[in-house]
Structure 1
Amino acid sequence: MTMNIRIEKLSKTYRGDGVITTALEDVTLLLQNNECTSIVGPSGSGKSTLLQVIGTLDAPTAGMIAYDDVDVGKLKGKTLADFRFARIGFIFQHFHLLPTLTALENVMSPLFPRKVSYDKKERAQELLDWVGLAHKQDSLPSQLSGGEQQRVAIARALVNRPQWLLADEPTGNLDTNNGEMVFQLLRKYQQEYGTGIIFVTHDEHLAGQTDRRIEMRDGRVIADIHLTKL
């Protein structure tokens, strides 16, 4: 099922010590589920804030975000949490794996408090195999390389079969080879299952391999380019 994200006149400000900081200003976008979209720009340009607001981890100060006909600004509490679980997967730069859980348990962790229609362990094992780490399922994060930890984090993000995958600098802590491997895994999943990807990155080489490149500066979108693949 195709699902679009409609963003209209989105703004985000923070107040502290009498100072107002504008993180996002008048952002309007239509993000399409069949695309891998990169968001680039200098540090402080609003990339990560935009991703957090799109992912419902933070609320905008003004404006609207709608997943098709669902205005997420109107969802609260458990309803919002259930929507986020059902629709969105997250990948972060620093992996955020639980250090006392094995790779398999980390992948299963989003499912622990929930009732699902499939076998949780089988689903986690299937994804660890898909990212090439079936043989590491009993390893703790401390026993894995950085690239392996990020692949576990990818499997965890996909365990609930999300319609959207939001990745915040997922290759930022990896060397070039591991970064390319992680990016290609995301692209492979998107192409096989139709999951939309929003990919925040400083890596212009990887951004150039996405379907669409959005550039931000000072909280605003200054360029939005659909990239032509030869």
Structure 2
Amino acid sequence: MLQNAYSIASEESTVKGHIPDIVWFHKFDETSTTKTTRSLRIQDADTERCSRVLYIIVFRKLIPITSLSGDDFLSAWWQAVLCHYTLWKHDVHHHDVNPNNLMVFWLNGQWIGVLNDYDLSSIKHDGPSGKERIGIIPFMALDLLDEDGLEGKVTHLYRHDAESLVWVLVWVYLRYQGGKLSRNGRLLDEWLKVGALRCGEKKTAFQVATVRRL
């Protein structure tokens, strides 16, 4: 997945420097589960097809975007938005936008936003059907948290990830002060304590109430 992202980065400035930078990588072929099952004389087609191997990947050190505030945060967040959009146009679909996957590093006097963690990503033509429920519930799009979405009847589109980016913005704005998580009276805590359907209802109510205030 990252190899695809690196290829895109070589041509797109909105991606170059905004994806994880691999410092070192090693694949331990001797740990292949296929070798283990064969040595144990276990004949299983599923095991052969879904073989696992240990990988170690070392990335450039990054820090959470939640460490920033004000214009620094907004600039880094927008850089991640542009990176995500460009990757999606080139068929690399992230699927798991949340505050933990938006990172930053300092370079030449400014914070650089990075879209991190491609474990749940897919390539448009080779990935899952797009109807799997992927992501951390409080940041998932409302369409994916209603009954149809939870039953896999809603195809995961770009606008769903884009909505997740907006929920990240709301989350950080209401729960962090000066780059630190508020100690008392944190808003939106209930989103973390309920199931997907109930969280969707709470987020919808929050959205309606916000629009009314505006």
Does TM-score exceed 0.5, indicating one fold?
no
- Rg bigger for which structure? 2
TM-score after normalising by structure 2: 0.28
Normalized per residue, which structure has more strand? 1
